[in-house]
Structure 1
Amino acid sequence: MEYGSMSIQRLQSGRWLNWGIRFFLTAALTASQTAGGYAPFALGCIAAAGPGADGAAALLGGVTGALLFLDFQQVLALAAVGILILTAATAFRDTAFLQKPWVLPVLAAGMVLAVGGIYVLQSLDPLSHAAPCAAASALTGVSAHFFTRLFQPEEDRLAPEGLLFLGAALTLALGDLTILNVSVGRVLLCALLAYTAYDQGPMTGVTAGLGLGLITDLSAGTSGLFTAAYGVAGLCAAKCRRRSMAALAFFSGAAAAMLTSREELAQTLLLETVAGSLLFLALPRRIFGGKRLLREAAPNTAQRTALKTHLNRAAEALRELYDSMSRTPPPQEENPAVIFDRAAEKVCRGCALCELCWQKDYTATFNALNDATPYLLERGKAKAKDFPVHFADRCIHLSELLQAINGELSAFLLRKQYRRQLEETRRSAKGQYAQMSDLLTAAAAGLSGAAPAFGEIPACVIGAALRPKEGEMVCGDTMEAFRTDSGLWCLLLADGMGSGDAARRESSLTCRLLRQFLEADIQPEAALTTLNSAMALRGAETGSFTTVDLCVLKGSEATFYKFGAAPSYLKKNGAVRRITGSSLPVGLRGTPAAPDITTVTLEPGSFAVMISDGVADPSRDEWLQDLLAGWGGDDPQTLANLILSESIRRERLQDDCAVQVLYRLPESEQPV
């Protein structure tokens, strides 16, 4: 029940956050207007918000912003279009038609054209008002297209072009804010365009320049001035490899395009371009993220070595930070005597018996308070009966003293709880530093240019069997078997808490994440420790945990890594070895924990058997050991099926069952 209420609270908080984002974003975008008093960016935002409460929040924000930035007639027009868009989206919300990406943009553009057309026909000069209306309609559709990719991103990743369009729309809202006749909004837009062109390359630079220039022309009422200037500037900046040269090329390209213009804003645009170029140069280096390096040729050996050195140094720094935190002693627990000291300071200092209690009979007073301490700490509240009779009868301000003690006790307990949480956070952070150090070290080792050699890759055959718990349609256990590019054989078995779909989701997520780590050549222990910390955070929300059993075969060396997993078995002829562990499952410990590790030799003709705890109770698995010792076949799939069928006969499928068997082929059967 506690986890359910926490999930509901998080869901409600997420909804309020989404509604707030749509409300304030749409309200801000109403300040970005085109000729004729249209606010196409706000209308596009309403369309992209979709049906239901999200769309209603965006509509309310648009109307609020319109009341602040538009004339009353324009407010009515925006409200009418917004209501029509929201009504149509809500009416078709459960249809496949609305899921098509072009529907909402076309719908929004059509609504603007329909409502705006009415106002155009009623105007004194319809021909002069038709072009702004058509431009606003097209811009509304374009805005809805880009904003939809922000509000409803694919693969949980925000589209960079959508972010660029949103940034441009918000900067244009500051277009009327000027300093020395220079538009602050267009200065920011120049810096944004220079950054985008320099970071993304020529194609994106010229496309973004033309698009942003066209939007700026529509907003400023100019005829092609900004389109030409920004298009040429974006292309020139994208051609440069150094940022200083890119800033100079951006200004030069814009200046060259402005030489042929007779617009009054040409000179102003020149100053805005200068200011935008300087702002682009002032951007911190870290926001570029090394993306330009990725577009250039692959790094040579010297660059690879330098990168490896940097990664190793970063790993050493994180390891040193971890060691320094380990050397720092934890904070000492606060003495409960502070409760009485502070309470007495408030109550006893002005009392007539202060000298008697705290000087002449100090020992008796100290013993009385000391004897009462265990009771009030256990109960969380002080009562008169906690104190000796001689002390309670003599104290003439006992009720005031109890009130003061309870106040200080509450503060003491809160400070104690805070210190424990702080120490838990400190341990977690310390462990994360160590894990990051291990991961960076592993990444640096992967830059050597060649895959690590583990000797001859053994030829193996895998067998597996899986059955859900009685009465369930889905098994909560998940198994994986694969070989990495570096030649490691990896067998995974994860058992999610409980059974059914919920357990299946947890176990499959654990296997998928761990497989990604291993296929990236991250060391198994570092991968498992990192996974344990991540799943602990997830477990705090879901209340779930998962056992993990991993077997890694490297040459003839098999290593078993266990987090709460059932025993594994090694069979060679009639001899059976049982491999166990005592670590808790992943997701149960917030502090970084290492798995139990056992390394054995897997000779040719040997079997490695992994099971989930539903197959055999670890306290009474003699039957399984006897079965393995007496089995003389060489087919791992037959062995897996045999183990599962015998388990069903004995355990009656009281839990999910998973069996995975690895058989290393004898030398005589090795492929040529």
Structure 2
Amino acid sequence: MATKETLKIKAARVREEARETGKVILRAPALVRSAECGIRFLLGAMLSGAEIFGGYAPFGLGLVASSGSGVDGFCALLGACLGYLSFQGFAEGLRYVAACILAYSVAFAFFDVKAYRRAWFMPLAAAGMDAVTGFVYLSDRGWTPENVIFFGTELLLCGAATYFYRIAFTPWTGQREEEELTARQTVSLLILMGTLLITLSKITLFGDLSVGRTAAALAVMAAAYKGGIGVGATLGVAAGLGMDLAAGETPFYCMTYALSGVMCGVFHRQGKLAAALAYVLSNALGVLWTWQQGLQVSLLYEVFIASVVFLLLPEQVLRRVGAMVGQPPQRGTRERAGAYVRQRLEDTAGAFRGLYESMRTSFGRPAPNDNDAAAVFDRAAARVCRRCPLQNACWQRDYISTFNALNDALPAMLERGRGEGGDFPAYFSNRCMHFSDFLSAANEELSALLCRRQYQSRLKENRAAVCRQYAELAGVLGAAAAELGAELVPDPVREKRLRQYLTAQGVECEVGAYYDEAGHLRIELEGAGLSAVRKSESVEKISKLMNFPLRAVDQTRRDQLLLVQSEPLMAVAGVAARKKDGQTVSGDAGAWFKHDDGSLYVLLCDGMGSGVLAERESSLAVRLLEQFLRAGIRPENALKTLSSALALRNEEEAGGFTTIDLMRVDLFTGETGVYKYGAAPTYVKKGGSVQRITGSALPAGLAGGDGAAPDVTRLQLEGGDCVVLVSDGVCGTGADQWVRDRLSAFDGGSPKDLAQALIDESGERVGAADDRTALVLKLVRR
């Protein structure tokens, strides 16, 4: 058998250690196992004394059957045998001793059988062994209806005790990750404690004062105080039923404990003293109701002693009771997950509102225009020929010849952009009395016509750009809607575990634990008194409790706290910059930030030109792009939207375009994307090699049409890799081998020192004819 072989191996190790060192050392795991075995022994002895119906004691047998075939089961067997022989005497106790030995033998014999691991196997085996041994004793007593009913109840309770005791011990024998603090385990622990109280009810002091009943009253009082009416009534009925079964009486204790638990729960918000008084007074009333059956004065003393102990209990103990019996909050985890996604959508809408505000003042109403080329001569004639004596002759009698003359001159005028005297036939120019004025007016109208055509072309491009903006907006909202429809998986086990921990610490708040679309754990807390939880040591304790590294996300509301799963990678950044000679501000602007989904974003924008105008354009691009990215918009959508917006803005304010260098790093996986709009090269060091990343896209705001997409390069970064982002003032148009050499020689020390060295050397090589910025990023594994 596997257990026997394990015991032999451990015994051989102990003998070998004793032979080599001359002594046997009990290490921490051995001490813990010894303590667990001792607890099994004591529980077996105590549960053997839990009698019901005046002589039936199935609970010790249930503990032996639930403890298995190993050392735990053997210790429980020894304790149960000692307890049965002590409480039941040799004749009656021998029956249960035989049943315990048979149950342990079944567990030992079938340990490696698949059926043994089924939840029903050992409860059925324990009830069967109890039936085999009890059949002989029941035959001796007689098969009366009362004995048959009690014997059948004993078999049922024996199987149930085996089933629930096994669940109650899962923190020792099972996986804490899956079984800890489940509802079944909480109920099983309460059943175990209730059956122990049956044994303790036999222990009396000063005549009739029962230790078990006093402990039961204290338990009901504490649970009702922390859990309210429902918990008080439920536990009162359960504890009272156990005491009635032990005493073999009518349901007197069940009625009294339940009534007292309800009344204590009613006053649980008025403080400990009010709850204790309500319990004592209602209990006294229940005792008086049974005046005719005999006054249970001992119960009054027991409840009084329990109330005194309750008032003396420290708040920390009551918090632990509240953590066990506390009710879940009304707001479910799914609602929290929905609120999280809705917040993302609101952030997206806010980003578009900011974009609208930046563009609103750049547009005016377009004036109506006429693109008909023939209108050039009509308008010129209206200005010059109106008062001419030959007006009727030219425009009525000889209209055909005038029309042909103007029609012949128009193509040359349109091609050249202005008219000349030679464009018109001689018969027209010689006959016209005001030809020079007519030609000048026609050129003015032609100029206006070409301007109107150019304006219409721009307007058409603008409308197309707005349509593209709507398309990008539709894509963004479509992605957000897909995220809203995605299933965010709640984790009720961790949620309940954290709620119990916080309740035990005196923190009353709502708790939500779920996994986002990437499978990363998120925990939301809402309530007063979260300042203590925000401390780093508290976050570290919660991380150990959740078995996930967590970090707190900065939030403005003091009654909310968001904990997200911490990333295995972290970034160390260094930046250095220098303005162009003669300028007070730099046209370069940058930012880096970490999103709560574990994405790190690094931005570097270089406004065209230098000075205040360049600084305004680059800062606007950084601000808008950061707002989009923080709202959760994908980098490609955010960049295309921003580029189109800048192109529209530049229709009214010429020269407002900027290069964009964006890098996104997933700090969970190391997946990286580099996005460029006309930006300088990016340099990536992996191991001993340096990679140079470039692009062909125009700066943002210059590119138009559907093909205005950024250059995208995908990378896989790891701990120890370095990335350098620079503006075009660092390298200029010359060779950049020296930058790669500098990065290749970088030993992973200070990123800021490397950035400053690049700026200093670029001044010697390229000069200070432009703004210069260098940003160095080094990834480090936590």
> Is the structural similarity TM-score above 0.5?
no
TM bucket by the smaller chain? 0.3 to 0.5
TM-score, length basis structure 1: 0.43
Q: Which has the larger radius of gyration?
A: 2
